[in-house]
């Protein structure tokens, strides 16, 4: 979904809402980030620090919203983020903590240095929840088979 830019729009008296909306410039912030955009964002954050995200997006010359820049930085580009697959130890820890606290991804991420809540949630939804369902299905099948003997 495209979002509105921060540029001023001149609204003339008597304009209908849809006419006003047509005059407002939109940001084309759909799609995957390029390595060039990542580089620009990182460079601007080095200078201005990670605070005013709309300003950062503008200073970097990115056609992205401040929110998009913030999420990209926090979940992918921040230097302390691990850019590798989950280890077996991390996977085991996620499973054990999830059993205790449920879908509290930020709490789980607090126990896994270098991993974000979004990364853990996505890993859970794409890998671990399927693994758990498969194990539960196999164990219920085995217990049904065992009770027949």
Q: What is the pLDDT of residue 19?
A: 65
5 — pLDDT class (breaks 50, 70, 90):
very low
**Is the per-residue pLDDT at 21 higher than 90?**
no
**Is the per-residue pLDDT at 73 higher than 90?**
yes
Percent of residues, the chain, with pLDDT higher than 90: 54
84 — pLDDT class (breaks 50, 70, 90):
confident
Cβ(27)–Cβ(1) below 8 Å: no
Give the pLDDT mean for 22-29. Answer: 55
The two tokens of residue 18 are 């849809």
- Range from 43-47, 79-83, 106-110 carrying the lowest mean pLDDT: 79-83
1 — pLDDT class (breaks 50, 70, 90):
very low
**DSSP code of 8?**
-
Its pTM stands at 0.60
Nearest-CA neighbor of 62 among 83, 42, 47?
A: 42
Name the residue with higher pLDDT: 30 or 149.
Answer: 30
**What is the CB-side half-sphere exposure of residue 15 using CA atoms within 13 A?**
13
Give the pLDDT mean for 52-74. Answer: 93
């Amino acid at each position: 979904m495209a979002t509105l830019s921060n540029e001023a729009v001149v609204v003339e008296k008597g304009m209908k809402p849809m006419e006003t909306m047509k005059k407002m410039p939109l940001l084309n912030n759909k799609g995957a980030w390029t390595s060039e955009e990542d580089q620009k964002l990182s460079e601007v954050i080095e200078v201005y620090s990670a605070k005013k995200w709309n300003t950062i997006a503008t200073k970097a010359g990115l056609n992205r919203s401040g929110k998009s820049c913030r999420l990209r930085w926090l979940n992918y580009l921040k230097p302390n983020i691990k850019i590798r697959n989950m280890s077996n130890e991390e996977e085991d820890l996620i499973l054990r903590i999830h059993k205790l606290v449920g879908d509290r991804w930020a709490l789980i991420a607090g126990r896994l240095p270098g991993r974000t809540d979004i990364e853990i949630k996505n890993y859970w939804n794409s890998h671990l929840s399927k693994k758990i369902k498969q194990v539960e299905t196999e164990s219920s099948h085995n217990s049904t088979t065992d009770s027949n003997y």
